[in-house]
A and B are shown apart, each in its own frame.
Chain A
Amino acid sequence: MMSSRISRVLTYLILTLGLALALGPLLLMLLNAFKPTPQIITSPLSLPNELDWSNFTRAWSDARLGETMLNSAKVTAMTIVLVLTTASGAAYVLARQKIKRWKSVSAYFLATTTAPIQLFLFPLYFGFARAGWINNPIAVSFIYCAMFSPFAIMLLRTYFIAIPKELEEAASLDGTNQWQLFSRVMLPIVSPGLLTVALIIGLYCWNEFLIASTFLQAKGEMTAVVAFTLLSGQYSSDWGEIMAAAVIIVVPILMLFVLLQRHFIDGMAGGSTKG
């Protein structure tokens, strides 16, 4: 057997290799956002000669990032509010088994988390088109809510289950009705869960591509990620500009992630393994 010292060095070596693998493309994105395209061609790996911000100003105006990021933020915020208000109630009654058919309702939500988008996309699109809801951010936030709330419900359910029953009984002895019990007693206790759900749903909405590119095609309603993909054709592209746009869209999210990583990791891992 290897001596423990060598094996420890080897372990860290391999783990650091994984670190480089995960960070490599992100560093390439950051480095080349500051270089003019001719310099990217001579060497994509080198450090930029100087901090050239011209890619960023071009990216900002070409992808209309001021406007499109605001659009993304609006859809994201609406979806978070919609998911939190609807999923918390459902999670509560399912966790406490307060309705008769809680088993079949849970099974239904579980089934929709694995339903392919294509299974409901086409009638939904043409139905919305007939109703005049294409290019409508509110309509899209309802679609996101339907897609992401089963995940939110399952995650929040675990927070409600953790609350001791005695607490609820004591509160109902004091004469609070169901609604007060839920909104004044239960919701504040699960607020860490609400934060986790808000962060994860926010991340999904900010990053989402298929629904956003199908339902929000008008120039004025487009999200940042969709505007970003329109920056380049398949063959000729200003890669310096594209990387600058990528940095503007992704760096704030990465910083938020590093800052609040426990919430993100626990939430995403919990939602997909307890599913």
Chain B
Amino acid sequence: MWLFALPALSINVVIILIPALLTIALAFCQWDGLSMPVFVGLANFNAVFADRVFWIALGNNIKWTLIFLTVPIAIGLFAATLLLLIHRGRTLFQIVYFMPVVVATAITARVWQGMIYNPNTGVFGLLQRFGIELADPLAHTETALYGIAAVDLWHWWGFLAVIFLAALRQVPQEMVEAARLDGAGFFGLLRHILIPAIAPTIKLMMVMTVIWSFLVFDFVYILTQGGPAYSSEVLSTLAYRNAFFEFDLGRAAAVALVIALFGLTATFAYVRLQAREGAN
């Protein structure tokens, strides 16, 4: 019977597990990708932690996590609850809300860059002519990260709305009706019935948000490449630059391990959380 599982398992081990183990080893070596790797102990980690850009990137990842733990989850939950209350047109709303998820990140990035943020060809430029001063957020150090986050937010909230709606539809309709007869308003209903009922789904999405927030790459790389002046750098773009532009594979591997550590912590926290809930 192992023969059935073997092809999938061996492809996965060769492409992911073995290179991942090599990355762990690489983090303790100096390597330019060509010559023989040289063992250097913790030197890569020391260099990474002494680098100002690493701390900017880590800070940006943490800001990113905080934004995505709150804003899209709140919007998604709000939209899903409204969808639960209506009957006509629900499918149409769901399909349209989901559409941005289907569009390639590279295309979403360019549409926002050119048609919305751009001071010449975008909506921001148009608004400037009406006296509403809106600078291109991607061009300024204080706003670049938030400009990118807004694009990712647009692409992401609809997915959460659809997932939360799917979970909400499992909540027994009698509970909702009973609460409404008791005079619960929209937000009362949300707080006392709906959110507790779908708490497992919300928690899972929050864990995934932490993991995904440390993986974010495409939007940053395409929109700003981490600039201007490293203001939107995140760990994944830093690692990529270390590896493919500076050919410092040891440092890239060290940064990659830091990224993996956050994902691992989030997964571990979630498993603990589930075990505790299972015990109750």
Note all chain B residues with C-beta closer than 8 A to A116.
214-215, 236, 256, 259-260, 263
CB distance from B30 to the nearest CB of A (A): 13
Q: Mark A175-213, 1 if CB is under 8 A from B, else 0.
A: 000100010000000000000000000010011011000
B132 in the interface, Cβ–Cβ < 8 Å?
no
B99 at the interface (CB under 8 A from A): yes
Mark contacts of B75-106 with chain A using CB atoms, 8 A cut-off: 1 yes-contact digit, 0 otherwise: 00001001101100100011111111111111
Tell me the dominant secondary structure on chain A's binding face. helix
Q: Which residue of A lies closest to B219 (CB)?
A: A209
Task: Note all chain A residues with C-beta closer than 8 A to B252.
Answer: 118, 122
Contact status A210-B217, CB under 8 Å = yes
Q: Is there an interface contact between B4 and A45, defined as CB atoms closer than 8 Å? A: no
Given contacts A105-B5, A116-B215, A118-B255, contact A28 B106 (CB under 8 A): no
In the complex, whether A34 has a CB less than 8 A from a CB of chain B is no
Asked if B41 is an interface residue, CB under 8 A from chain A, the answer is: no
Is A44 a contact of B115 with CB atoms below 8 Å?
yes
Taking a contact as CB atoms under 8 Å apart, the answer to whether A89 and B8 are in contact is yes
Tell me, in angstroms, the Cα distance from A185 to B150 when the chains sit together: 48
B159 within 8 A of A: yes
Shortest Cβ distance from residue B198 to the other chain A in the assembled complex, whole angstroms: 10
A86 at the interface (CB under 8 A from B): yes
Q: How large is the interface on A (under 10, 10 to 19, 20 to 34, 35 or more residues)?
A: 35 or more
Chain B residue contacts of A108, Cβ below 8 A: 9, 12
* Residue among A43, A111, A239, A261 with the highest chain B CB neighbour number at 10 A: A239
Q: Indicate if the CB atoms of A93 and B1 lie closer than 8 Å.
A: yes
**Which of A8, A22, A150, A242 is in CB contact (< 8 Å) with B110?**
A242
Chain A residues with CB under 8 A of B123: 28, 44-45
Residues of B within 8 A of A23 (CB): 96, 99
Q: A41-B120, A44-B123 are in contact. Are A90 and B95 (CB under 8 A)?
A: no
Confirm or deny: B267 has a beta carbon within 8 angstroms of a beta carbon on chain A: yes
Contact A28 B116 (CB under 8 A): yes
Residues of A within 8 A of B79 (CB): 15, 18
Quick one: CB contact mask for B30-55 with A, threshold 8 Å, 1 for yes? 00010000000000000000000000
A98-B6 Cα distance, complex, nearest whole Å:
13
Q: Give the interface size class of chain B.
A: 35 or more
- Are A145's CB and B5's CB within 8 A? no
Instruction: Tell yes or no: B112 within 8 A of A by CB.
Output: yes
- Tell me, yes or no, whether B57 is within 8 Å of chain A by CB: no
- Indicate the member of A32, A105, A265 with the most B CB atoms within 10 Å: A265
What is the minimal beta-carbon distance from A216 to any residue of chain B, in angstroms?
14
Cβ-based interface call for B211 (8 A): yes
A80 interface hit (Cβ, 8 Å): no
The reply to whether A14 and B263 contact each other, CB–CB distance below 8 Å, is: no
Taking a contact as CB atoms closer than 8 A, the residue among B14, B114, B185, B217 that contacts A243 in the complex is B114
CB distance from A131 to the nearest CB of B (A): 12
Determine, out of A48-56, A166-174, A247-255, the stretch whose residues face the partner at the interface.
Answer: A247-255
Instruction: Name the residue of chain B whose CB is nearest to the CB of A182.
Output: B4
User: Quick one: given A119-B260, A239-B115, are A45 and B9 in contact (CB under 8 Å)?
Assistant: no
Residues of A within 8 A of B (CB): 1, 7-8, 11-12, 14-15, 18-19, 21-23, 25-26, 28-29, 32, 37, 40-41, 43-45, 82, 85-87, 89-90, 92-94, 98-99, 105, 108-109, 111-112, 114-127, 129, 142-143, 145-147, 149-150, 153, 178, 182, 203, 206-207, 209-210, 214, 225-226, 228-229, 232, 237, 239, 242-243, 246, 249-250, 253-254, 257-258, 261, 264-265, 268-269, 272-273, 275
Q: A116-B260, A243-B111 are in contact. List 11 more A-B contacts (CB 8 A).
A: A1-B185, A15-B93, A28-B123, A44-B121, A45-B126, A115-B263, A118-B256, A146-B15, A147-B15, A254-B99, A269-B166
